[in-house]
Structure 1
Amino acid sequence: MKVAVYARYSSDNQREASIADQFRMCRLRAEKEGWTVIEEYSDQAISGSSMIQRPGIQALIMDSARGRFDLILSEALDRISRDQEDIAGIFKRMTYAGVRMFTLSEGEISEMHIGLKGTMNALFLKDLADKTRRGQRGRVEAGKSGGGNSYGYDVVKKLDANGEPIRGDRTINPVQAEVIRRIFRDYAAGKSAKRIAAELNHNGVEAPSGGAWGFSTINGNRKRGNGILNNEMYIGKIVWNRQRFVKDPDTGKRQARPNPEEEWVVQEAPELRIIEDDLWNAAKERQKSIKHERRDDGKGVENHFRDRRRPKYLLSGLTRCGCCGGGYSMISAQLLGCSTRRNKGTCQNNTNIRRDALETRVLNALRHNLMQPELFQEFCDEFTREMNRLRMEGRASIDAAEAEIKKIERELDKLMKLILASGSDDAPTRMMKRMKELETRQRDLRAFLHEADKPPPLLHPNMAHHYRAQVEELYAALQEASEARRMEATDVLRSLVDEIVLTPDADSGKLRIEVRGDLAGILAISLERKKPAGGAGGSQFELVAGVGFEPTTFRL
């Protein structure tokens, strides 16, 4: 019996030794049963309510599909998952792969365990969340912080009579408090958040995150009450329950949702005041005036949001600074520059480039210098061979299953005729048993055919010629006057480019442009598919377009 052991400890039990303890207990049980442990998987400091963000459980699931082991051994079912949907999905996958599940607490896992324990674990999580929120609310109503810490304050560490930590007490940090007052004074005096952030960085003032200041740290979001300019704790008010968090079932990440204002809990805490009312009100008035100016251009806020949803320019959001890794964005009507230098002042890259010049150079590179003919032909040959090999392998297993189904149908017909013609009493019983076995096998084969991935398409050997025709058509569509046709071509092109890195060249004083993308994605245009199956054939490449676009260099 080949066994895989899984262990996990959650963020509410920060004991790294817990993993070793779970592995040790599981190995002892495996030794007692005569099982062979071939692999150990673990997730550390990750909640059991999320499966997507747990690399250990994901690796376990993938290896089970490959038939690496026969049984999963864990301390308890809630170590594998506390989420009802996730644990049911894991059990279903293991059953399909022929892998049993066994825990030290529950023994061999069956459908009954999945239903009962899954419900109990879900109720445990809900009860834990409710108790946590009750505790936070109690602390806020007592004039203490509900959780986390704001810039400008230090956490007060004290113990009660029983030696338990007293949570929620804060005291003003005098150095950070002076930085907060400076930000409010500068903002009320007319300085922008970007300029304030740049000056703080220039003076070596450390940001709340420990790195460099950014304008979003200062501006924040007025509705959510975050950012330096919106934190009401600075005027001696603790506001709790402004928002709640829900987990996205697809990504496993938490998403903020605003709560109605009547559900907010507001508590006065005058001892935490840093900003006087006059200065706070001046900053709020300036925020309102800036918002009003943005509305006065004839468009509503909603229209601005819709405009931002679709990239305004061909390469919007794809350009990066090669010095700091920050974005390259519009710093004027025509020029692109390093966003980090502009917003934080911490990057030394002051080389700008015209947007239309960048687009022209990138398009010419994609059209003419994307590949050297001999290199691309070699890639196409290899890609075609690999895709066709995968197709033949996939087709072989499907053909074998279809052939076996036909053979079973013929044997079932033969058995039925024998049962009707038989005069013996026990012969029909034996033949009926055989028929049930064949029908079970037939159902399994049909289920396999239903779930089997379709083989990749058979590719034409002259794929390079098809590719070139598609690239020419794409380039022509980007030049068309038709807005719909041009936007469609823009979306296709953007899907092929991962990022464009702009790095100053010390010798020429110009920008070196490096275009990175997925060559398999480009090839998929001619296949009329979203993505080649499995990314076969070593699809990742980088196109390096040097100063003046000298001959292209490839890293295939």
Structure 2
Amino acid sequence: MKAVIYARYSCDHQREESIEGQLRECKEYAEKNNLTVIGSYIDRAMSAKTDNRPQFQQMIKDSGKQMFDAVIVWKLDRFARNRYDSAHYKAQLRKNGVKVVSATEVISEGAEGIILESVLEGFAEYYSAELSEKVIRGLKENALKCQYNGSPIPIGYVIDEDKHYQLNPLTAPFVKDAFEMYASGRTIKEIVEFLNSKGVKSSYKKDVTKTTVAAMLKNTKYRGQYKYRDVVIEDGVPRIVTDELFQKVQERLAKNKQSRSRFKAKVEYFLSTKMICGDCGVLMVGECGTSKNGVVYNYYKCSNVKKRKGCHKSSIKKELAEELVLKKVMNEMFTEDMIEDIADSVMKLQKRDNAAIPLLKEQLAEVEKGIENMLNAMQSGILTKSTKKRLDDLEAQKEKLEIDIMREQLQEEVLTRDKIVFWLRKMKDLDLAQDDNKRILIDTFVNSIQVFDDKLIVSFNNREGASGIALLTDGCSAGRGLGELPTRTLR
């Protein structure tokens, strides 16, 4: 399983673990649990209270490219600024087949917090349109003027004072070279080497990668097209390549994509990051094998068995393990008493979380006062580039704070106790043949599964203790539970 590390260091927390310390513990966790770390995303002197974390945003974007299967964080508070954002970004990662794991927290999050995030995700349609309407309206106005809207600036362009795209005379010629090279049969790897040899950097000031070039070759801005949502304006951006050259590149990209489509569909192991070897305590990972007659088998295997580190734990069939765990969740999490208890706990946590609203309103009042002062100065004849820029910055802060307040208020209004109960009862009737439903149930309620030769021990997020499932010696379920078991230390 491939993983990346996300680390963040806040300048206002001098005593917290350093970036180096966070990386070290995350790498130790990965090594212990047979996760292959392929890279790190690091935001220095950044706060989780803002979305302006360039490496975090790049990680979210890269998750859609099937580059990795898990994100390792030192602690889960490194991940997001509030409960809503945590739910929002985890949902994005989950849709891309990526899980978030903590290197230092055995029980990944407070039980009610996990369930609240799932409820937030489940009710997203109630408030996502309202939250985004104001932002989209402003960005659409920019788009109609072909103005920059905040996404990474493509290689070959710069943004002028009026927020319009202009050609970068230093890098635009190399972009044209890249298109011509690919159209003439050169590989993306060769183009990467060429651009790096010329000192071309990505929008994040890093060396160009295959991902950078692949995105470049598909970007319609290079043929002069400005595009934002449903706004498409031809010749809204200075073009770098002709329509003919762009089309030739698209045809070759499409041909290469078809040749790669023969690969097998990716199998999702829903219990990965939760299933733990009962003998040695490390994660069990998804594996597949093919029998002599060509039948493919999927199963979970102890990482130490895979690495031949002395453990001899038997593997367990994927379908069996997932079926047993899901059945246990359905039987124990959706009694009427449990639904009422969960709803009470989630409402208490939500009330505690909404203490952020007064602080946000206080910050908004300060920003509005700053705007008033700037307007008074301008009316008095003080009008310079710096005062105009300062006013623009304050207006942007005001808009962002208003959205944050709306987000918190909508969360409070939408998530009534009745709606939480409704959502939990709806989960009880989920079709377990659907992969999305399996994922939701396991991620919401299951904290860990310890695997022994004769039983599985399931620990839930929302209650103390654990529950056992008996297994026959051939790895099949005996069809009976073992009752309540004490919680066992997992790491």
Q: How high is the TM-score relative to the length of structure 2?
A: 0.35
Query: Which structure's CA Rg is the greater one?
Result: 1
Q: Which has the higher contact order (CA 8 A, sep 6+)?
A: 2
